[in-house]
Each structure stands twice: as C-alpha cells, then as structure tokens.
Amino acid sequence: MPEPAIAPLAAPAGRIKATTLLSAKTLADPRSWQARASLQQLSGADRLEQICNLEAMEQVRAWNADYRPDAVVAYAMAESRLSGRTVDAPGAAIRSKKRWYAISYTCTTAATTEEVVSFEFEMGAEIPEDQWAEHSLFSGTSVD
C-alpha cells in the first residue's frame, strides 16, 4: 500500500500529531459549500467542535486510506470539553464504511479565526453495533 500524502508523526502515548492541517483546505473547496453554510448556522462552541470533527475525518483519511470517515460524534463515549479555543474529545466516535470506531482527539483553533492550528488523535477499537444507540451513534446517512 502506498504511503499517504500526509504522514502524521507519532506523539507520546500513541497519539498521532498532525504535521499538516487539512480542514481549512477542505472548507475552501467549492464542493464544500453546504458544510460552510451549515457551520455559519452554529454558535461558537458548536462551530469549533464541528470544525474539529471535520479535521478529525480528514486526518484519519490521510493517516490510513482504509478508513473513509463520513461522520464524527465528539461526545459519544465521554463528554467533549472546550477550554478557550481547544476542543478535547477523549470519547469521540468516527464512522467509516458504516461502522463506528472510538477516537480521542485534541484540537486547537487560532485565536482570530476558526482555522485549526494543532490536532492530535488516537484511534481506538470498533464500537459494537449493539452499543450505537446508547452512545448517540446513528446508522443512517445523517444525525436524526
């Protein structure tokens, strides 16, 4: 399998620290007009969390091409926390190919913009389908 275009570096405790941040480029793409419009409807903390969720999907996709993430729930297994411009999501879940996986991430945005300036994550195990409802994980194409 070829190396991904972006190779994040391993950080302490098995976390992967992104060396290239991807969400701003994704949002700048004309095909992302719906995502940009949706983000404008959200308030500060919710908007930051969604930008960080987007960064999580892009980083996992770049880290391992076997994953095709299309959704993240930052609060699935444990509450996410916002401190200043940093979102800490120790119990997030990410969906790929209709399966949910545990992920933990820490994401910081710039003080004057919502551009991600640092991101690190650690992938976990697949979450059994019989636990999805308990953790607000959906099986359809969108959050109900």
Q: Which domains does the chain have, with CATH numbers?
A: 9-135 (3.10.450.630)
**For the residues 84-111, what does the mean pLDDT come to?**
95
- Residue 40 pLDDT level (bands cut at 50, 70, 90): confident
**C-alpha separations of 126 from 68, 88, 98, 122 in Å:** 14, 20, 11, 13
Element (H, E) at 62: helix 44-63
pLDDT of 141 reads 58
pLDDT of 13 reads 54
| pTM of structure | 0.83
d(CA 74, CA 87): 9
Burial class (CB in 10 A: 0-12, 13-18, 19+), 19: exposed
**pLDDT value at 131 more than 60:** yes
pLDDT of 112 reads 75
**pLDDT value at 122 more than 90:** yes
Of 142 and 31, the structure prediction assigns the larger pLDDT to 31
Roughly how many angstroms between the first and final C-alpha of the chain, as a whole number? Answer: 36
